[in-house]
A and B are shown apart, each in its own frame.
Chain A
């Protein structure tokens, strides 16, 4: 590995980046550090502030780099930290023969492979590795009066937020009643404009999360056939009524606050005594990446617990600005790893953070989960709705089945050996190849109207369907 600190100093965009990188050079921040000396590559996973670790890769040959974080600094602090570890503690990197898919993916998309290393500026003016390495001076100790003032201000802000959110929900209630009075046929036709208006009002009244959900409602309706939209509108608006009522009944409930106003920070979740922690082997089922109307990209990575006797899922959810450009996923579908996850407190714990990565898990098939009640593949969805009827997307494991087409070329999942029994419509189009495969088990998201396929087990192994 040919890396030296002067190169890092020269490549750093500014002194602040070097300082931030210095803090990330602790080994505990990096659950994975690997190198392929033959290829001259180093890569690693760095646990940042998001749910997913950032994937960081660096070519020691030509100083090309890539990080999945949304930073606008190039190179970002994660790259600098990876190089720093490479220069000062190369033994931290495990030697491997094969590069993971996500590194291959980057290599395949690099524009100018084969260029000589970028010329570092002759002088790294204003940047110093030595300065970045110095420990920060301790922050001044807060006195008791100041602490009390701070807490009082916090309480006041919380009260203000609660009052504002309560007013927001009153407006939402009125808006829903108006839509019913005006007719859902008209609502479906003009939902984009109408939802935009109420969403903007909700943002003003600090019901930010709820506003985001309503902003996405038109897209959910338009994804369906026109004859299905009125029923979908009833479902979506009815869920909003339920959520508003639930919040009024328990405004301090963590899950409801998260769904209506704002989410907890990573540190708050990690410190929360109510957060369920599960250490297990996890498989990445698939990803769901959506650009929202508020110009944020939501990136959901769905995981399956491989050691649980009943299907248990987790979702790592990250948001970043669409203007930051396309981000490659932190995980590739099919990846398996051992980790301790911390779930956001919830009636149906799904959203989670990776608290600790504990290495890779062995490849193989999914566990054989028992079938749902009386063979109903949506039994898990019903139970999910019992706990939190205001939610939509529910992950489920479908039993053996196959994909079939209707007369309009719409895809349906159909249970094996039950050609005239239950069938569930599949969102979007499916690969033609999938139509010829028997699916032993399928992981999917059911939203009450459509299945979004994530992955399947089949006679030819695992299929990525997300």
Chain B
């Protein structure tokens, strides 16, 4: 279409938009085609020509400012084989929320694969995604340009080559292998960052926390951010460094908390000290006690009673006041030393029943071995299988058939599926999803056979993750 025609088309368009006859506005050649007809027919003929001109002779004008995203980073693991994607999609469809979907991704990552980005993408805000997805999290968060490579080591020189999620993953790795080097990096690079970033940088110090970290953490007690000071204080408390010097005055919160705990004696032959919560008289007291447990450090509290952390835990009277038990366990989780956490976890798991479930509060502090012990305990009891779903940070794909078969869990599942109570069946189906995450491939395969034999329809979608798990066995990356 030449310029004259384009100008004519623009005039015609304007004429038609406002209404009325536009024949005289048309290009001369177009008029020739449309002439020798009634006025209405002339307009229609011109309309037909104009429509074709708009359709094939003009192209959409592309804006000059089209903006592309940087390429989606290639991850360190290969993508799940195409033939397993139907099973994966079935498992993702059954997983109802972001946490459960992430668990599917974690299982797949544990077998050496990543998901197709059109099937699942980690949310930029969700930190529980497997570390292999860190480049995608950064990409989603809007990181621009070619940066970061997990193949590089994190050093002061390469610091700026990493985006936040990838850098955090690299820092955690470094804390596990060379904690001093990681601390030096945090010390050097954190000073110039904003409070929010400083907080995120200090958090990985909990990995491989040791006495060598004390001077740096103490230096943070003068940090201008309250949150950073609080985090540093908790980490110090875990190392046995008392955060709040006890002055015993009326303003001393640790003393106030200690007043909510009474010392007693137990045993006839060997008298031993016990600690139990004081019976409270009002909701206001309950609220105050909750605040104090949340804000005081465990080390300060036990020091008030002149005990070691482990001794105090051993002397605590669990079962007197459920709320006080919960607050104490949370307190240990936040500010107790590693030994205290391990001691408490062992004590609670050994107690079994509902006390064992309090260990769920310690999840962030427990090593994978103790998490496994807890999971085995829950399976063994089969009193509260739903608690399996609350085990944060559990490893994927390790549960052996013996772990299931030896306890009561398997028979509980069998009886749920062979019975006629819908509520029991639905609940058991949820446990299957969790076991689909925990089980090794052989266990997954066997469990499918057992529950189907018990009456669960073999096509039940609740078997999705177990089937994916079993199918992943024969697919080495």
Contact = CB atoms under 8 A, between A and B. Distances in A.
A348 interface: no
A293 to B, nearest CB: 23
Contacts of A403: 68
A98 B90 contact: no
B462 A113 contact: yes
Contact of A183 (B19, B67, B140): B19
Interface string B42-81: 0111011111101110011011111111111000000100
Nearest to A231: B54
Contact of A234 (B47, B64, B70, B121): B47
B117 to A, nearest CB: 5
Q: How large is the interface on B (under 10, 10 to 19, 20 to 34, 35 or more residues)?
A: 35 or more
Contact of A177 (B44, B59, B60, B69): B44
Max chain A C-beta neighbours (<10 A), residue from B13, B18, B59, B68: B68
Nearest to A415: B62
Interface string B21-38: 110000000000000000
Interface in B123-164: 139-140
B19 A186 contact: yes
Nearest to B59: A422
Interface in B451-466: 455-462, 464
B13 A231 contact: yes
Interface string B203-237: 00000000000000000000000000000000000
Nearest to A57: B459
A438 B73 CA distance: 12
Interface in A404-425: 404-407, 412, 414, 419-425
B15 to A, nearest CB: 9
B55 A235 contact: yes
A114 B329 CA distance: 40
A242 B45 CA distance: 8
B116 interface: yes
Contacts of A114: 417, 422, 425, 429, 455-457, 460
B305 interface: no
A200 interface: no
Contact of A437 (B18, B71, B90): B71
A404 B68 CA distance: 5
Given A113-B462, A433-B121, A437-B71, A424 B60 contact: yes
B20 interface: yes
Given A231-B13, A464-B118, A182 B19 contact: yes
Residue of B64, B69, B87, B455 most packed against chain A (CB within 10 A) = B69
A422 B58 CA distance: 11
A278 interface: no
B444 to A, nearest CB: 14
Interface centre among B21, B59, B459 (most CB of A within 10 A): B459
Interface string A304-343: 0000000000000000000000000000000000000000
B319 interface: no
B426 to A, nearest CB: 8
B446 interface: no
A451 to B, nearest CB: 10
A209 interface: no
Contacts of B287: none
Nearest to B14: A230
A436 B139 CA distance: 9
A61 interface: yes
Contacts of B51: 234-239, 241-242, 389
A378 B17 contact: no
A437 B63 contact: no
B288 interface: no
A230 B13 contact: yes
Interface stretch (A12-20, A103-111, A212-220): A103-111
B65 A407 contact: yes
Given A61-B459, A234-B16, A241-B44, A381 B56 contact: yes
A404 B66 CA distance: 6
Interface in B79-97: 79, 82-83, 86-87, 89-90, 93-94
Contacts of A116: 420
A371 interface: no
A436 B458 contact: no
Nearest to A237: B47
B16 to A, nearest CB: 5
A460 B118 CA distance: 10
Contacts of A424: 60
Interface string A411-455: 010100001111111000001110111100000000011000000
A108 B461 CA distance: 5
Q: Give the most central of A39, A116, A403, A421: most B CB within 10 Å.
A: A39
A375 interface: no
Contact of A241 (B48, B69, B117): B48
A152 B222 CA distance: 102
A135 interface: no
B13 A406 contact: no
Contact size range, A = 35 or more
B93 A59 contact: no
B50 A238 contact: yes
Given A61-B457, A460-B79, A185 B65 contact: no
Contacts of A460: 79, 116-117
B18 A389 contact: no
A231 B59 CA distance: 12
Given A107-B461, A414-B62, A436-B72, A185 B55 contact: no
Contacts of B459: 39-41, 59, 61, 99, 107, 113
Contact of B48 (A230, A238, A414, A436): A238
A104 B62 contact: no
A382 interface: yes
Nearest to B93: A108
B72 A437 contact: yes
A370 interface: no
Interface in B186-216: none
Contacts of B461: 107-108, 110, 113
Contacts of B13: 230-231, 234
Nearest to B116: A460
A104 B63 contact: no
A454 B49 CA distance: 30
A242 B52 CA distance: 10
B40 interface: yes
Contacts of A182: 19
Contacts of B44: 173, 176-177, 180, 241
Nearest to A103: B459
A245 to B, nearest CB: 7
B86 A449 contact: no
A183 B17 contact: yes
A424 B61 CA distance: 8
Contacts of A405: 66-68
Contact of B82 (A363, A431, A435, A448): A363
Interface string A216-259: 00000000000000110011111101100100000000000000
Interface of A: 38-41, 59, 61-62, 98-101, 104-105, 107-108, 110, 112-114, 116, 173-174, 176-177, 180-186, 230-231, 234-239, 241-242, 245, 363, 378, 381-382, 385, 389, 402-407, 412, 414, 419-425, 431-433, 435-438, 448-449, 460-461, 463-464
22 contacts: A61-B458, A100-B86, A105-B93, A108-B461, A114-B455, A173-B41, A180-B16, A180-B44, A185-B17, A230-B17, A241-B47, A385-B55, A403-B68, A414-B68, A421-B62, A423-B63, A425-B60, A432-B121, A433-B118, A435-B69, A437-B71, A463-B118
Given A184-B19, A436-B71, 12 more contacts: A40-B458, A104-B87, A113-B461, A173-B40, A230-B16, A385-B56, A404-B67, A406-B63, A432-B140, A436-B69, A436-B72, A463-B118
Question: Which are the 6 A-B pairs with shortest beta-carbon distances?
Answer: A238-B51, A183-B19, A436-B72, A423-B62, A177-B40, A435-B69
